[in-house]
Amino acid sequence: MRSVKEVLSLGVLYLGCALWLSSCGKADTDRILTIAGAANMQFALEEISEAFTAQTGIPSRMVTGSSGKLTAQITEGAPYDILISADVKYPDKLYREGYTLGPPRVYAFGKLVLWTTGEGVDPVLSALSRDEIRYIAIANPKTAPYGRAALEVLQHNNLDSLLQEKLVFGESIGQVNQFIRSGSAEIGFTAMSVVSAPQFENMGRCVALDSVQYTPIEQGVVVIRQKDSEGDNALLFRDFLFSATARGILKKYGYTTNE
């Protein structure tokens, strides 16, 4: 027969085990997930984040910018939990340098468009050399994947040197969109996901560019390694990005995905 002390000790042990087992696989809904997202993903990511929170109860906040700048901030210690990039180059760099919990995964393929909000401006490549177009907005090719893609299109059509004096560089697609919307640039290269957003779908005109003229815009995601966290919430969000719900949202914003 066990003593009262032994019975109580066993009870505490069983209770501890039960509590530990019940916590396994559950998200930490008290911790806010910080998502670093490429500017082209701003609107789609807002919807995806809302759907994720509704399903898991995990709150999140988003920081947007060029993929290159966000990557630099991560290497400098920015407390981001996950990077949703506009390419795989920067996520792969972070992986190779030991900043992530695993290699990058491609969650979507982006599309490049020419967009204008100016009256009488044709959003076609042949119009870019016309006198009425003084400024052409493009994201910085050094840090923004959509800027690199735009430069490849200009080079493919032998327009890069001809239009060099007209190019106005934005830090990210977000700034490019500001240039175009405000009329500071008569036309510009941006992401299909932007002009597909409800806020902009009836604003101006756009034309999708031939995808064979630029390197496929593979958009990658990585979970950032944190000293004070195992990254469970970020891993859950990463997996949710490949769910049917998230894929449906991505397609609505003009992305293509691997089924």
Q: Is the pTM of the predicted complex or chain greater than 0.85?
A: no
162 is in which domain, residue-wise?
A: 112-213
155-194 pLDDT, tens per residue?
A: 999 999 999 999 999 998 889 999 999 999 999 999 999 9
Residues 96 and 117 in one domain: no
Please indicate, yes or no, if residue 231 is contained in any of the structural domains: yes
Q: Are residues 207 and 141 in the same domain?
A: yes
- Same domain, residue pair 145 and 157: yes
41: in domain: yes
Banded pLDDT at 29 (limits 50, 70, 90): low
Is the same domain home to 223 and 146?
A: no
Query: Are residues 122 and 158 located together in one domain of the fold?
Result: yes
> Are 162 and 37 found together in one domain?
no
- List alpha helices for the chain, DSSP H: 4-23, 42-56, 67-75, 89-96, 145-156, 173-182, 192-195, 232-240, 244-252
Do 96 and 224 have their domain in common?
yes
Q: What is the pLDDT of residues 105-118, one digit of tens each?
A: 999 999 999 999 98
Q: Residue 158 belongs to a domain with what CATH number?
A: 3.40.190.10
Reported confidence tier of residue 221, pLDDT bands at 50, 70, 90? very high
Dihedral over Cα of 104, 106, 108, 110: its sign = positive
Same domain, 117 and 195: yes
Tell me how far apart the alpha carbons of residues 215 and 41 are, in angstroms, rounded to a whole number. Answer: 18
For the chain, the domain total comes to 2
- 199's tokens: 């806020």
> Is 91 a domain residue?
yes
